[in-house]
Structure 1
Amino acid sequence: MAEIRIRNTNERISGEANVKAFLDKQEVLYEHWNAAKLPAELQGKFSLTDEEKSQILATFDEEIRDLASRRGYQTWDIVALSDATPNLDELLKKFEQVHTHTEDEVRAITAGKGIFIIKGTDDVGYFDVELEAGDVISVPEHKPHFFTLMENRQIVAVRLFIETEGWIAHPFEDPTFQKA
């Protein structure tokens, strides 16, 4: 289940209802899917074949299509990152820069853990959303954020897009942002 840490105060928010209520106020969509429906052999696997990626998409097809129909997403894929990923550290450096997009950035975590760092309202500032299998988040277009791995450095997630070519990151310079 997702947990939030507000960086200014170090306050933690947990529990599905509390997380959802906080993120709703920040205009960030949060849902939870049943990650246990993923076949056991894929629940802890972070280096995937194309066939295994297709199997994950088929497993969550109903949830993906429901979310896509509600939010206008046109295409989706799987991203899998772990220490087995070539050039992982270079990829993470690219990810770990505050940026925006001209469409939502969506992640449905099917295995592992990840974290979104998001710029909230002025009274909140930046906050971390720690995600695990079953958590679904959509950061709205133009909202400053970035996504990275947690200490286990393993994640598999469904990404959904409005534009069929995917999104492009636009750097967001913010002198108030402090890395944790």
Structure 2
Amino acid sequence: MAVIKIRNTNEVIQGTEEVKAFLESQEVLYEKWDMSKLPDHLKERFDLSDEDKQEILNSFDDDIRSLGERRGYVNWDVISLSESTPNLEELLKKFENVHTHTDDEVRAITAGHGIFIVKGENGYFDIELEAGDVISVPEYTPHFFTLMDDRQVVAVRLFIDTEGWVAHPYEEKEYKL
């Protein structure tokens, strides 16, 4: 179950309905997928072959297509990050810069954990995700992604167009009153 930590107040939001309501107020989609659909041999596996990734996509085909139809996503794949990922540190440094996209950033976590840090209407908040959690960060919303302490995640990514995934650096604008 996702947990939200609001950075400027240290408030913690837990519970499926509470998390969903908060994220909805920030225009971030949140839903849960049934992880019992994932075959046992793929649970908590992070070094995946192309065949393993296709099996994950097949396992969640109905969920993927439903979300795609509702939100206009027409492409999807699986990403896996762990200590065995070549250049993991370099990838994480790239991910950890606040940026925006011209397309939604969608992740359905199927194993491990990850954190999206998102700029909302009242500052930044962390969304700690685990298997079964699905979020869609809207286009042009400042955010970044990183791993949690276990440093491993498998996620289905959905998108409209791969061009929309190009990261555009985001710079904070300071306003003086």
Q: Tell me, in whole angstroms, the C-alpha distance in 2 between the residues paired with 1:148 and 1:26.
A: 20
Matched, 1:45 2:40: no
Measured in 1, the distance between the counterparts of 2:36 and 2:9 equals 34
**Counterpart of 1:11?**
11
Could you report, residue by residue, the CA deviation over 1:64-97 in whole angstroms, capped at 9, with x for unpaired residues? 0000000000100000000000010000000000
Partner of 1:154: 152
- The aligned counterpart of 1:143 is 141
Identify unmatched segments of 5+ residues in structure 1.
none
2:120 aligned partner: 120
Whole-angstrom CA distance in 2 between matches of 1:166 and 1:125: 24
Task: Look up the match of 2:101.
Answer: 101
Output one character per residue of 1:102-129: Cα deviation in whole Å (capped at 9) or x when no partner: 01000000000000000000xx210000
Q: How much does 1:164 deviate?
A: 4.5
Matches of 1:128 and 1:12 in 2, distance apart?
Answer: 10
Counterparts in 2 of 1:72 and 1:42: CA distance versus 1, 3 Å? same
**Distance in 1, Cα, partners of 2:105 & 2:160:** 10
Q: Runs of 5+ in structure 2 lacking a partner?
A: none
Letter in 1 for 2:130: E
State the superposition RMSD in angstroms: 1.1
- What is the aligned residue count? 174
Distance apart, 1:37 and its partner CA: 1.7
> Identity percentage over the alignment?
68
CA contact (8 A) 2:101 2:164 kept: no
Look up the equivalent residue of 1:174 and give its one-letter code: E
State the match for 1:74 in structure 2. Answer: 74
Aligned counterparts, 1:51-90, within 5 A: 51-90=51-90
